[in-house]
Amino acid sequence: MNRRTLMTLAAGAPLMTAVPALGQTSLAPDDRTAIAGWLEDYAAGWAAGDGGRMYRMATDDLEWVNIVGMHWRGKPAVVAAHDVYLGTMFKGVPFTLRGIESLRPVGPDVVLAVVRWSVGAFTAPDGAVIPATDDRMTLVFRRTPDGLRLAHGANIQIDPVAANFDPSKGPPGG
pLDDT (tens digit, 9 = 90+) per residue, 30-81? 898 889 999 999 999 999 999 999 999 999 999 999 999 999 999 999 999 9
**Domains defined along the chain, listed by start:** 29-122+131-168 (3.10.450.50)
* Chain centroid, CA 36 distance in Å: 11
| Dihedral (CA of 41, 113, 129, 79) sign | positive
Reported as a pLDDT band with limits 50, 70 and 90, residue 29 is confident
Question: Measuring CA to CA, which residue among 54, 60, 93, 94 is closest to residue 76?
Answer: 60
